[in-house]
Amino acid sequence: GITLNYTVLRLVGVDPEDPLMVKARGTLHKLGGAVNSPHWGKFWLATLGVVSWDIVNPVPPEIWLLPDWVPIAPWRWWIHIRMVFLPMGYIYSKRWSCEETDVIRGLKEELFTQPHAEINWAAHRNSIAPGDNYHPKSSLLNTMNWFIVNVWNPYLRPNFIKERAEQWVSQQVDMEDANTGYADLAPVNAPMNTIVCYIRDGPDAFSTNRHIERLDEYLWVKDEGMLCNGTNGVQCWDTAFLIQGVFEAGLQNDERWRPMLTRALEYLERQQIRENCVDQEKCYRQPRKGGWPFSNRDQGYGVSDCISEALKAIILLQKVGGFPAVLEDQRIFDAVDTLLLYQNDNGALSSYEARRAGEYMEMFNAAEVFGRIMIEYDYPECTTACVTALSLFSKHWPDYRSKEIKIFINRATNWIKTNQRVDGSWYGSWGICFTYATMFALESMASIGETYSNSKISRRGCDFLISKQREDGGWSESYKACETMEYHEHPMGSLVVQTAFALIGLLEADYPHIEPLKKGIKLLMERQQENGEWLQEAIEGVFNKSCMISYPNYKFTFTLKALGLFAKKYPDVKVEL
């Protein structure tokens, strides 16, 4: 983190003698300098020409030539890793670096603890600061890297294989660009694809310049400064949750909000993905027709829970709220058809695709800073979203693929039951953390009629949440829980979003004791500002256990839902402030 942030600041013009830069450089040197950066950091420094490519562990594009039946073939990897190592392999194989500038010459002096010319780059391929080594490389991967660097690359790698691999990877990059309008999956592979186009097509090419135009979509500015989105926005995701929150609060019939909800419906209609990828099989993409992405249609990646939450929002608007039917039935059926493809063999749901390989793939995890990234995993959040969406769908279209949907829901909810931990909680992979996942799991149990009164699973989940309620009525959970997989309270104390998560889970499960619920609702009401908003508190989301994500709208959408559920369940109860 220090190396790349320092490098970026130097590239945008910050003086190396600025007090903050001096302090950062001192800390970096205490950690051994940039030679102890993790794999991806070394890749970027090599691309800039600050370090030799000899320091970068191999990313051979030849792996993309493996037959599909091979258990470690890249098409089996999780989509984010696939799309990162694709352009990374091309750039690594070319050993391309930027032209040297005064800033790069300066970085060569500033980032290291010994003279640049004296560094044995190859000796530092596996050097990494302990704090960055979240997922140490396996002995198998280290052995493979040694073989590629010392035997394959210098002695056995024929040019025709190298060139064929680079051509195939280049074609895969083009297919990714074409299927996303040059937005690409995420802000990690997008700049890498940009560099591939720059190397191959030149700085004036349409492909290069279109990439550069679209990179701006990943950046946003708030009170903390300029941050980077995990995708090119959260538009569909946030819109779907807001619509559901309005319905839970019973505000959909209020004329003040009908125009807003109409525009939200029209937005989701426009963002539905209407066709599968071009060359879908060739570029290893899952069918997406009828789905919704996390951000917008341009980005073009359907995600199981994004499809589900958008589908629920549209059904609520068109079938419950009496809004115009802007999506005809066939488009709803397309969404269901796609959603049914996401279920894994054990009944659970993953994110972008059904799982394609086993956990053995983590032996080849080269990223070092992330865990659980090589394959799709099972997620109670995604599983619940699909269960509740299909349950709502079946109420309004009971005859469409009814048998398959019934089996799907039964298998999914059975998996959720088996995924419950000993303490009654569920571990969350996309939000923080046990509070988040337990909310979703209790919602899925309620959708099949299992609540606190008749289900041991639901009762244990509720008891877990109640055990974590604080004296002031709120809940508090830190991002540390995601890293350690153990519950950690946040040092800030009770948090609005975490409190909303817990209340929603308890209310969905028909938790029978009102006093804990009233205390939680009171905290939400007390934290509301005069203008109706809630202030931003701690971070809410997570990615791959160690990368945290801000969801600024969660403090509105989930809080609105919690208040609405309580008001509907206890219409005559007044909470005194």
The pLDDT tens digits along the chain (577 residues) read: 899 999 999 999 999 999 999 999 999 999 999 999 999 999 999 999 999 999 999 999 999 999 999 999 999 999 999 999 999 999 999 999 999 999 999 999 999 999 999 999 999 999 999 999 999 999 999 999 999 999 999 999 999 999 999 999 999 999 999 999 999 999 999 999 999 999 999 999 999 999 999 999 999 888 888 889 999 999 999 999 999 999 999 999 999 999 999 999 999 999 999 999 999 999 999 999 999 999 999 999 999 999 999 999 999 999 999 999 999 999 999 999 999 999 999 999 999 999 999 999 999 999 999 989 999 999 999 999 999 999 999 999 999 999 999 999 999 999 999 999 999 999 999 999 999 999 999 999 999 999 999 999 999 999 999 999 999 999 999 999 999 999 999 999 999 999 999 999 999 999 999 999 999 999 999 999 999 999 999 999 998 888 899 999 999 999 999 999 999 999 999 999 9
Q: How far apart are CA 280 and CA 352, in angstroms?
A: 14
Would you give the distance in Å from CA 226 to the centre of its chain?
Answer: 19
DSSP for residue 216: G
Q: How far apart are CA 278 and CA 51, in angstroms?
A: 38
Q: How far apart are CA 293 and CA 299, in angstroms?
A: 7
Query: What amino acid occupies position 221?
Result: V
Q: Please say whether the structural domain 423-570 has been given the CATH code 1.10.1660.10.
A: no
Q: Residue 359 burial (CB < 10 Å; 0-12/13-18/19+)?
A: exposed
Show the tokens assigned to 178: 């074409």
Domain ranges of the chain: 1-228, 234-419, 423-570
Give the strand pairing for 219-222 and 225-228: antiparallel
**84-88 long-range contacts, Cβ below 8 Å, gap at least 24?**
84/40, 84/188, 84/189, 84/192, 85/59, 86/169, 86/172, 86/173, 86/176, 86/189, 87/169, 87/173, 87/189, 87/192, 87/193, 87/195, 87/196, 88/43, 88/59, 88/192
Residue 39's pLDDT is 97
Which residue has tokens 């970096």? 28
Residue 393's pLDDT is 98
Collapsing DSSP states into helix, strand and coil, what is residue 73?
Answer: coil
Q: Which CATH number fits domain 234-419: 3.40.50.1100, 3.20.20.70, 1.50.10.20, 3.30.70.1450?
A: 1.50.10.20
Collapsing DSSP states into helix, strand and coil, what is residue 343?
Answer: strand
Tell me which residues are annotated as active site: 305
For helices 434-447 and 456-467, give the axis angle rounded to 10 degrees: 150
Collapsing DSSP states into helix, strand and coil, what is residue 379?
Answer: coil
Among candidate residues 78, 279, 93, the one with its CA nearest the CA of residue 176: 279
Contact between residue 46 and residue 53 where contact means Cβ atoms under 8 Å apart: yes
Query: What amino acid occupies position 544?
Result: N
Residue 394's pLDDT is 98
Which residue has tokens 């609520």? 316
What's this model's pTM, rounded to 2 decimal places? 0.97
User: Mind spelling out the 3-state secondary structure of 422-473?
Assistant: CCCCCCCCCECCHHHHHHHHHHHHHHCCCCCCCCHHHHHHHHHHHHCCCCCC
Residue 556's pLDDT is 97
Q: Which fold has domain 1-228?
A: Glycosyltransferase (1.50.10)
Domains 1-228 and 234-419 belong to one CATH topology = yes
Residue 220's pLDDT is 87
